[in-house]
Amino acid sequence: MNNYDLAILGGGPGGYSAAFRAAELGKKVAIIDDNNLGGVCLNWGCIPTKSLLKNAEVMDLINSSSDYGISVKDIQVNFDFIVQRSIKARERLSKGIHYLAKKNQVDFYSGFGKFVDNKTVDINGAQISAQNFIIATGSKPKSLSNINSNSDKIVYSKDIFSMDTLPASLTIIGAGAIGAEFAYFFSSFGTEVTLIEAEDRILPNEDKEISRWLEKAFKKRKINILTSTIAENIDDEKILISVGVEGNSSGFGLKNLGVEVTDNSHIKVDQHGKTNVDNIYAVGDVIGPPWLAHVATAEGLYVAELLCDLTPTKIDYNSIPNCTYCKPEVASIGSTEESLLEQSVNFKKAHSFFNANGKAVAVGSTDGFIKILVDDSNHILGAHIVGSNATEMISEISVIKSNNLTIDNVLSSIHPHPTFSEAIFETLLQLK
């Protein structure tokens, strides 16, 4: 039986980040996964969907080419090629993760890992032991039982990559990030899209101004939006379920170990990612929200350094960027205006609209704005962006907020002109 310092169940962002960091710090490490390394994010989520969305972006550009004095005729869409392109992107990156595992001398076991005891895992009949374990098994989509439709019509995001033709009509149930992204993607190629959300607005976790702005943009794209609605009888060609996720914690033998799991299948951990079993930790989606790849990575790195006797910086969960890659893009960090009002927190706010931004006007991407909220000491409480390059610009805000910088700290730096990021500078200047 092979023995390790650290063994990790799950090869997604949380798992492989922890593995590589621990290996760099001298530990003997193994990863166990019954799929390719990279997890849902690389294989079915973040990466391949962004590849799909690039195709939608190209289609949008072609359709608006006359705005740039260019005429494009006889547009043909090869949907199978589009899907295969996204698959090639994930395969390329998956090979990169496997290469890094080999480079860092991390052993990879392909198979389903199940705990025998708190020191041993069985992998399809073979066993390995470890001093410590990290559970990074991710999440799986929630299902719905109230949909009255043929089961062959119902798909989840993973199923998109097995489609070979575009559906003529599509209902998407759930208007969070995944629902919004696929609504944008399919509508770009002419699918009649209906987006249904039980809450009173799409992207219900975002600042209300941002949600309303995106809703107007989607309606211009002729996406049918039904909010405050429970879906039941649906006649569209396909029905995409995107109502959230639950922890992927069943089948791993956790019950026999006494590892505490919530009713919604998330593993309970303390502030250090430790379960109630001394040598077993958990990171990523399996421990609950926020269900984001970059959070899983941060948690994986934190636990790895902790197990290597370092003192890692605690994760600031109030400074985590959220990104939605539709058009216009949406990105946010920190508190919404609504939450601050509910808490009776004093704040100032300012907006900068991209229709006044030089770069946005020059390239023809003026839809959207930046909204920043600051406290009485001029520290950022929250920032919200809807528009082109929002998911890139939010990183600057993340650095500002996580380092507790003030408006003056930022305004002392010079932003290049013309850029979209100038809007951050201009928004903060209003708040000085």
166-189 pLDDT per residue, tens: 999 999 999 999 999 999 999 999
- Which residue matches tokens 């039980």? 198
Give the chain's domains with CATH numbers: 2-140+246-317 (3.50.50.60), 151-241 (3.50.50.60), 328-431 (3.30.390.30)
12-32 pLDDT per residue, tens: 999 999 999 999 999 999 999
Which whole number is the average pLDDT over 232-251?
92
Average confidence score pLDDT of the chain: 95
According to the model, what pLDDT value does residue 36 have?
84
Which whole number is the average pLDDT over 121-129?
96
Does position 408 have pLDDT exceeding 90, yes or no? yes
Does position 151 have pLDDT exceeding 80, yes or no? no
According to the model, what pLDDT value does residue 144 have?
84
Which whole number is the average pLDDT over 77-90?
93
Given pLDDT bands bounded at 50, 70 and 90, which one contains residue 150?
low
Nearest alpha carbon to residue 128 among 304, 9, 306, 282? 9
C-alpha to C-alpha distance for 249 and 321, rounded to whole angstroms: 26
Does position 68 have pLDDT exceeding 80, yes or no? yes
Q: Considering the chain, what percentage of its residues have pLDDT values greater than 90?
A: 90
Q: Which one of the listed residues 98, 272, 384, 417 is annotated catalytic?
A: 417
Residue 417 bears catalytic tag: yes
Q: Is the separation of the CB atoms in 79 and 66 below 8 Å? A: no
Is the entire prediction scored with pTM above 0.85? yes
Given pLDDT bands bounded at 50, 70 and 90, which one contains residue 235?
confident
According to the model, what pLDDT value does residue 44 have?
85
Nearest alpha carbon to residue 207 among 429, 376, 373? 373
Written in H, E and C, the secondary structure of 80-127 is HHHHHHHHHHHHHHHHHHHHHHHHCCCEEEECCEEEEECCEEEECCEE
Q: Is the separation of the CB atoms in 301 and 187 below 8 Å? A: no
187-223 pLDDT per residue, tens: 999 999 999 999 999 999 999 999 999 999 999 999 9
Q: Considering the chain, what percentage of its residues have pLDDT values greater than 70?
A: 99
Strand partners, 135: 9, 282
C-alpha to C-alpha distance for 77 and 169, rounded to whole angstroms: 17
